[in-house]
A and B are shown apart, each in its own frame.
Chain A
């Protein structure tokens, strides 16, 4: 009986309230659903893409226990016999893995490369059987042929070739023609790879005697850790080899996109945060409106605990429905996004794969709990207020604002602000700006909590000023009086505006700062008139010394700088870094490099020291601070270098090192270069130079671009990578505006009696609507003003803490004033319109009936 009765009572109260205020409840449910949906969808997309990316990377190496590779792209195959003869090794699988450029690339395939694996068919059939090519029945020896390549179905489809066709590939300035001999035994959906005999690959791609890695399968019972340590010791004197476990490679894959994925998830959480605030405002205003009803229930015998439970139960049901809807919506969104756009959300980490959507029950439960949890969090304060209100005073009219009196206490808000500031001083955790994110949340929460006090102070001051001036119009005076004297209710509406506008300002400043910094950086790093590279990118490109000479002798040039770029692995657990060798004036490195500080002057460098200049991530990730001596595996044996300066690099998140080309060539026997920067004689048009170079024997393999094109392309990529950010930001603002609409309409409903009374004493409907429009406009103006301040502070955290800690680059601050002011104006108009639209319903009823309303 007891539980049946209580359940019945709770159901009556809930259904009565929700049927009467469907819009408010619906808006809260939608807000929660959107927040959960965004978070869940982004998690599912990122997880699917990441899993597919990891699986694809894993599938290329088969079932090995250990692998030996070099810090540079390839190692000498002379190490192979040493490893193969090791007594603990059962099988050795040599691999040459290359990203090969495509010559006749279409626009779609621009900058794309085909991953080609050179395998020893006999060993790979044991270690990685899926990667074995399937030749035609009458050409079984194609697996060893010197002109054959086997392609995965996705690669065939992408390249538009079939078995028997000829595939042209670029090697530097030359073209290599290979016969498509068949498909692969098994490839992952969407995986674009080609497989060749390893000897053919070495020969065709000018990598004779070189391997990318050697995979080892150990004899059963071998202690892997002990063997690894022993092997490292054996190889150490040569310091050109790294021994790694497959798990390390997986960690490297995870590290590549981790900061990006975490940032995107946090951004999705912002939408959930604004949803929490919306639930709070919906519940808080609902409590205010039902203050008399709750007081009556308390008089009739509802205990405090029952009251607390009732309000929390209401919130939990909103959260339950919203979260379920959000999970369904999120799953549908993720499925659609993966189907139509693939797994890449703009970061560029997951291009060219076809992730398969999997429902993740653990993530679903986590997001469901998160959705219900934040709803309960948003309901907690209103529920506590409802439970602790004294019933006798609450039964009287005019006590509505006292219901929210606790909101006026500034100390919790100040505490949040202070702790937020403290968090900005703390270092990253696991290379992630966890405290930076917390600081943003703390500042936003603290700022919102201070709103009642601030709005009361500001509107009281304005109201007094108007009274002293003595010519306040009644409608304006009443609007101001209401805002000044009922600050807690005003603050709830203001909180919605503040939350959305603050986030918008913070994100806009951060993105604008980033974009302006990238633009400035591009101008700095692209000083030449023309840039030339061998067709497309890839590991196999390069200009020979003869070709360099021919380029340099082209008429119309005053200066040519050649660049050699290659990958370097310093830590098997981290993504490769980029080594760039180029002409650098050691006395004025700032002319070439976008330095972030002073470079160590040439005179202060130790005798014989080779200077290098490192990008900002190198400082954070590897501790390469200016003046530090470091050993790098460039040349044999490894040499010691001195870090002479730090430069800003928005192009490579995982680190890059620049050194003089002359130093590089002195240390290695690598004479190839990848790119060239050309300075033209005065009066010479770029087209003339391009025409001359096209006439060179290798001219067709060259690709030209002017700095303007590169800048436009780079900024286009920048904007594309922030498209999802804009989308998430837009949804957060939409939820914020829903909150404004919900709180205005809830307040208008709660004020029906007041409006009825005002109409009795002679105020027209138009005047009441005018009063509401002024209230809405003034609140939004204050929200926008405070949003500028709070958003500005949060943008400082994003620019100077979150970005450097996530992506290891710094930027200069830029304020997009014009767009911010336009949005603020639009928001003010929208809020005023919302206030009037909400009020129109409240004043549409009979004035007589309105004053008779009990509640």
Chain B
């Protein structure tokens, strides 16, 4: 597969790659019929680039994110993060790379219920042996100033996702992975969250990959890709009519 590009990405293409996918293949052997999910998938993400990946349910979007994060291993091909080949790392090294270079945002928020907001946000700082003072700034940045001692049970869905965004960015990672970050939110809140996410990723000079079914969410990215059985393709407006309904 050729590397996706559009004219407006030319400037970004000059920047070094933060992520390289080289001929990735992945099948689930544990499934009864041994389903092939990804086949010969290649792609390069440049530093500062923010892309959205769309695709039908079950096509392998979340699997791709897991592979990028080193949470799962591809059957074939290589994944390079900042020129480091993931498959060359053992579990501990992959974990250390993940904690340093990645930020995660999930559809289901995944905020630890028994920690305060401040403690939740400080988790990556603690894991990376960084001073936790940056937590207050992040709380302020996501609009939760003064609520650091609150517990997650006191927050709405949108507020929980703000906490998740703060946690994903607080240690200034190079790559943010977001899996349906607005799937559980109403459109207005979703819009706020998406804009906040983009703003913060860009402000940090980080790269981002957002996996989503929502066109509105995808529209906040620099570039939109569609994952199909054949691989990653650039999203063309004229092809939108061919996309499944739920993606519109």
Contact = CB atoms under 8 A, between A and B. Distances in A.
Interface of A: 1-2, 5-6, 8-9, 12-13, 16-17, 19-20, 292-293, 296-305, 390-392, 395, 853-855
B126 A303 contact: no
Contacts of B114: 16-17, 19-20
Interface centre among B91, B98, B106, B110 (most CB of A within 10 A): B110
A300 B104 contact: yes
A2 B95 contact: no
A2 B110 contact: no
A304 B126 contact: no
A5 B131 CA distance: 8
Contact of B131 (A1, A12, A302, A853): A1
A854 B99 CA distance: 22
A303 B129 contact: no
A173 to B, nearest CB: 80
25 contacts: A5-B129, A5-B132, A6-B129, A8-B126, A16-B115, A296-B110, A296-B112, A297-B123, A298-B71, A298-B95, A299-B98, A300-B98, A300-B127, A301-B99, A303-B96, A304-B91, A390-B72, A391-B71, A392-B66, A392-B71, A853-B113, A854-B108, A854-B109, A854-B110, A855-B113
B244 to A, nearest CB: 23
Contacts of A298: 71, 95
Contacts of A293: 112
A178 B124 CA distance: 88
A292 B71 contact: no
A525 to B, nearest CB: 67
A666 B95 CA distance: 91
Given A1-B131, A16-B112, A395-B110, A299 B69 contact: yes
A13 B114 CA distance: 8
Given A16-B114, A16-B115, A292-B110, A301 B127 contact: yes
A302 B71 CA distance: 12
B91 A303 contact: yes
B201 interface: no
Contacts of B166: none
Interface string B74-116: 0000000000000000011001101110001010111111110
A5 B95 contact: no
A2 B113 contact: no
B21 interface: no
B115 A301 contact: no
A826 B91 CA distance: 50
B127 A302 contact: yes
A854 B108 CA distance: 7
Please classify the interface of chain A as helix (H, G, I), strand (E, B), loop, or mixed, using the class held by over half of its residues: helix
A12 B119 contact: yes
Contacts of B144: none
A72 B215 CA distance: 104
A308 to B, nearest CB: 12
Interface in B123-139: 123-132
A301 B168 CA distance: 12
Contacts of A296: 110, 112
Nearest to A20: B114
Contacts of B100: 301
- In the A-B complex, the 4 residue pairs with the closest CB atoms: A301-B99, A16-B114, A9-B126, A392-B71
Contacts of B99: 300-302
A391 to B, nearest CB: 5
A292 B112 CA distance: 9
Contacts of A16: 112, 114-115, 119
A9 B122 CA distance: 9
Interface centre among A2, A17, A395 (most CB of B within 10 A): A395
A300 B98 CA distance: 7
A635 B237 CA distance: 119
B123 A300 contact: yes
Nearest to B95: A303
Nearest to A5: B126
A12 B72 contact: no
Given A16-B114, A390-B72, 6 more contacts: A6-B129, A12-B119, A20-B114, A296-B110, A299-B69, A854-B110
Contacts of A390: 71-72
Interface of B: 66, 69, 71-72, 91-92, 95-96, 98-100, 104, 106, 108-115, 119, 123-132, 152, 167
Nearest to B115: A16
Interface centre among B69, B115, B124, B130 (most CB of A within 10 A): B115
A301 B128 contact: yes
Contacts of A395: 106, 110
Nearest to A388: B91
Contacts of B152: 854
A750 to B, nearest CB: 13
Nearest to A305: B92
Interface centre among A9, A305, A392, A854 (most CB of B within 10 A): A854
B124 to A, nearest CB: 6
A853 B152 CA distance: 10
Interface centre among B95, B119, B129 (most CB of A within 10 A): B95
A9 B66 contact: no
Contact of B125 (A2, A5, A13, A302): A5
Contacts of A391: 71
Contacts of A301: 95-96, 98-100, 124, 127-128
Contact of B104 (A5, A20, A299): A299
Contacts of B66: 392
Given A296-B110, A854-B109, A9 B123 contact: yes
A12 B151 CA distance: 13
A506 B105 CA distance: 55
Nearest to B104: A299
B14 to A, nearest CB: 31
B93 to A, nearest CB: 9
Contacts of B167: 300
Nearest to A3: B129
Contacts of B96: 301, 303
Interface centre among B66, B112, B119, B125 (most CB of A within 10 A): B112
Interface centre among A2, A5, A292, A297 (most CB of B within 10 A): A5
Contact of A303 (B92, B115, B130): B92
Contacts of B124: 300-301
B169 to A, nearest CB: 13
Interface centre among B119, B127, B129 (most CB of A within 10 A): B127
A246 B100 CA distance: 71
A300 B132 CA distance: 16
B194 to A, nearest CB: 21
Contacts of A19: 114
Contacts of A304: 91-92, 95
A401 to B, nearest CB: 16
Nearest to B71: A392
A514 to B, nearest CB: 51
A392 B72 CA distance: 7
Contacts of B119: 12, 16
Nearest to A292: B110
Contacts of A299: 69, 71, 98, 104
Nearest to B124: A300
Contacts of B127: 5, 9, 300-302
B88 to A, nearest CB: 17
Nearest to A21: B114
Nearest to A397: B108
A603 B52 CA distance: 105
A200 B62 CA distance: 101
Contact of B113 (A5, A12, A392, A854): A854
A302 B129 contact: no
B110 to A, nearest CB: 5
B129 A1 contact: yes
Nearest to B128: A301
Contacts of A20: 113-114
Nearest to B103: A300
A13 B113 CA distance: 10
Contact of B111 (A2, A305, A854): A854
